[in-house]
Amino acid sequence: MKIGLLFGSFNPVHIGHLIIANYMANHTALDKVWLVVSPQNPFKKYSDLINTYDRLEMAKLATDNATNIEVSDVELKLPQPSYTIDTLTFLREKYPQHEFALIMGSDNLVTLHKWKNYKLILRDYRIFVYPRPGYENAELASHPSVTITMTPLMELSASFIRKSLAEKKNVQYFVPDAVLNFIESKNLYR
């Protein structure tokens, strides 16, 4: 099975994440997409994140009815901070029957050369890229391992949702109802 890995803080998971995952699972060569909840991104401040298990639970709530989108907690079991190459190596050893690929925005493709062992990633894994405004001309876009997709653009960010929640603004339809109920029940991001 070909599994696309969409890594993220999912702080919180939102409709944009789900549109990307759904597109990749249904409109590319991938069979499934796993949302990989990252406890700590090496390029982000840890203090900006809410509890990892709350983020994991929201991702599970958001994908509860999905047929080909699942949530993975693999990075919770690995040393921190999480490096993509280490996670890929672990998954390849644990699930040799699957073929893993990366899903990333074109903004990440532009900075891929800064990632740990990025040449190994390009050598050993396919990368499915969704467009991000302002990052159309990534140097690695023509690499044989890279597939640029026509994923629908959605300019929605978790930081916008967090800011809106902090300002007590309505975020209905930006996150799935089950996620919004979870956020409200735990008074997150207020």
- What per-residue string of b and e applies to 24-41 under the rule 16 or more CB within 10 Å gives b? bbeebebebbbbbbbbeb
**Boundaries of every domain in the chain:** 2-154
CATH code at 2-154 = 3.40.50.620
Tokens matching residue 156: 């929605």
Q: How does pLDDT run across 56-107, given as a tens digit for each residue?
A: 999 999 999 999 999 999 999 998 887 999 999 999 999 999 999 999 999 9
Alpha-carbon dihedral sign for residues 163, 37, 173, 149: positive
Q: How does pLDDT run across 10-23, given as a tens digit for each residue?
A: 999 999 999 999 99
